[in-house]
Amino acid sequence: MAGGTGVYITWVTGAIVVSLALMPVFKPAWSRLTLTGFQDMFRRYWMHGLIVFSVYLWKDLFDGIDRMLMANARLDMTPFIYAIEGDIVLWIQQTFENEILTATLTHFYVAGYMLIIFSAFVYTCYFDDRHMADRVTLTMLFTYMLAIPFYLFFNVRVTGDHIPGMETLGYQLTPEIQTWFTRIDPFTNGMPSLHIGMPFAIWLCYARNDLDGRWRNWRIFLVVYMMLTAFAILYLGIHWVSDIIGGILIAILAVKLAERAAPGTWRWLDERVFVHRISWLFADWRRPVAEGGALIGRGIAYVRVPGPRQTAVAMALLIVGTSGTLLWDATHQHFPAEGVSHPGGAAGADGWLVALDTDENGNLTAISMDLETGEQYPHPLDINIDGNQSHWNLDYAETEVLISENHALVWQGYRIIPIWFDNPTSTAFGRITGPLYEDVALVDSNEHSYRYFTLDDGTVVEESEPFTPISDADVQLIVGEGSSLAWVTQSAPLTANVIEVDGVQHTFSVTVNATIDAERDAQVESMTNTVVDYGNATIVDIALDERYMVAQVNLSAVDRLVLVDLATGEQRILGDPVFPVANPSIGHGRVAYQQKQFLISNNPNPEYMDWEVDFHIIAENRSYPLHAPDDIDQTDPQAMGDHIVWMQVDADGQTEIRIYTVEVVFEPYSSRVLQIFVLLFPLLLLTWISQRIREKETRIRALDEEE
């Protein structure tokens, strides 16, 4: 239960038990409680239950869309809210902060909300108050539906994730709770607060319809709950005061919509007639045909003589269609690399991507792509996927691509082949090396020349020029970036050494710190059955640019990514430190990496077994997903200028290269849809205004004639 499932089950069970225990307190005075009443409730109100609990299914869908939209568009309104409110909630947290209060309010925050939702539905249905049940059910549905546009397009972060000095106390109470919240909450759905909006909508619905006072005790309880919840969400570092106001406003609108929609909705969905309607409809094959024809006829009659209502519907459909198209485009910003049919590897830097492609005979071609212009330049390598190196007594030699700002190297066993970006059409000639190197690093000398370094038996050697500053004989890893070379030794496996190879060859070292608090380390051990071994920790991969370095540190139980500011020495861990991460790439203020978030290794859920790609914006100190969660492995991400590239296996088992555009670029079809909207919507709006004016004039004339 290290992933938080245990505490979630406890919350749900507790909410249900308390809700049932309170039924004698809140029931109408003349009602009785019996076990058979629950059987009758499910029989009479199963449609109401489907509507209420469908909200939970919608939440998962729209939370996924919200995460993708934030990654692409980053519509973050939090700074505007902070400019208005300042540190009001920070004062509340610091004034009342107490460990017992924090623990109590955290459980109250989650379990209490579940109790309210469950009770509001069950009480009215169990005691057969159909008038109230009809309206409460639609009220809860409309409250959530009205919140969705805000969650997608008016993202407001939780206060503890934005205000300096404030903490998300509720989300960080225990590692298990933190993991659970991370999995189910994108942390950007602050406005409006449904923890206030939903109970306020329920209370208002009861207040408007409880004419005989049968639910008086329940309404008083809701008021007390809302007061405690308002304090809790501010104190725990989750919501702003503005979120509470927003929740109340959408609640008022939801109740009004539910009142108007209830008669028509339940005329068709009332459980007492719904099954009979379906049975009657399919009892004779001619009835569905007749009813379908009648429905089409009514639809034609509805639009044949358009009035303001029909025009309003047309405007609503136009808005929904345009918004849906743009939303789809904004959340699908990655596409396959064309011209690479069987990719075997890829590397990217700035605007250049070099991919290895294999033909049906296993022959390799390096294809360099200018992502800005779309131009592609193939470079036949005259080598086979198995290396064509049987004469070296090698069964297999993996091919790798190394890339820098102006050059690329294809390295396979005893062969190294350079590619120049300033002359991408030139033939790629390689050289045969003597030893089978352990590692190779590429460094740019200038636009027209490159330097590469090799690792042989723990010693770093430069092939083209003499290079002596690295005296270590136990090097286990080398990485090149720009004009810098980094390496790690076996004797100091947590120290990254960096040297500028051009000009003055100054060397400096950074010792990486991958430690976290002991409680979260214990969580890792419980999920992997392996100890987090700081004593034998080692750097297994490095990515760096002019300002930052990312080190992947292996701790036996898990790998962690540590971002180091080379100018200040500041370090921070990227991603969730309790789950697997790998293959960091850095460039242009972004870090791309692959992860298996929420994977519990000793009890794996297939949903979390595959690698997903995320990217981190260093200036914001925030990470975003690059695609919707799926069951496809996305690996080897490359952070480039305006793109992030990764390898993945598609649904048919074919490997492909995906290219993600960092900034939202609408496709031509989206632009056309937007153009149609701009042309049609003003015309429809003017038509609607004109129709409303004529309709009002007609009513006035009719009244005059009656008088």
Check residue 247 and give its pLDDT: 94
Contact 354, 347 (CB under 8 A): yes
642-672 burial, b at 16+ Cβ within 10 Å, e below that, comes to ebbbbbbeeeeeebbbbbbebeeeeeeebee
pLDDT tens-place string over residues 270-296: 887 777 777 777 777 777 888 788 888
Q: What sign results for the dihedral spanned by CA atoms 208, 211, 216, 218? A: negative
Check residue 112 and give its pLDDT: 93
Across 392-401, 405-414, 638-647, the highest mean pLDDT is recorded for 638-647
Give φ, ψ of 436 to 5 degrees: -90, 100
Contact 699, 706 (CB under 8 A): no
- Average pLDDT for residues 571-582, to the nearest whole number? 91
- Average pLDDT for residues 164-190, to the nearest whole number? 82
Radius of gyration of the CA atoms of the chain, in A: 31
Check residue 4 and give its pLDDT: 59
pLDDT tens-place string over residues 499-557: 887 766 677 889 999 999 888 888 889 888 999 999 999 999 999 888 899 999 999 99
Sequential DSSP letters for 209-238: H-TT-TTHHHHHHHHHHHHHHHHHHHHTT-
The pLDDT-based confidence of 132 (bands split at 50, 70, 90) is very high
Instruction: Give the tokens for residue 590.
Output: 């972004």
Contact 400, 355 (CB under 8 A): no
Instruction: Give the tokens for residue 13.
Output: 């069970």
- Average pLDDT for residues 127-144, to the nearest whole number? 93
The residue ranges of every structural domain in the chain are 36-276, 296-333+668-706, 336-436, 512-655
Average pLDDT, the chain: 83
Residues 6 or more apart in contact with residue 635 via CB below 8 angstroms = 582, 583, 594, 611, 613, 646, 647, 648
Check residue 427 and give its pLDDT: 59
By percentage, how much of the chain surpasses pLDDT 70? 91
Instruction: Give the tokens for residue 238.
Output: 């989750």
User: 213: buried, middle or exposed (CB in 10 Å: 19+, 13-18, 0-12)?
Assistant: exposed
Residues 6 or more apart in contact with residue 15 via CB below 8 angstroms = 111, 112, 114, 115, 118
Check residue 91 and give its pLDDT: 93
AA identity, residue 465? E
Check residue 395 and give its pLDDT: 43
The pLDDT-based confidence of 77 (bands split at 50, 70, 90) is confident
- Average pLDDT for residues 3-10, to the nearest whole number? 75
Contact 365, 379 (CB under 8 A): yes
- Average pLDDT for residues 697-704, to the nearest whole number? 76
Contact 200, 194 (CB under 8 A): no
Across 60-64, 119-123, 439-443, 462-466, the highest mean pLDDT is recorded for 119-123
In angstroms, how far apart are the furthest CA atoms of the chain? 109
Least Cα distance to 499 among 455, 467, 527 occurs for 467
The 3-state DSSP class for residue 423 equals coil
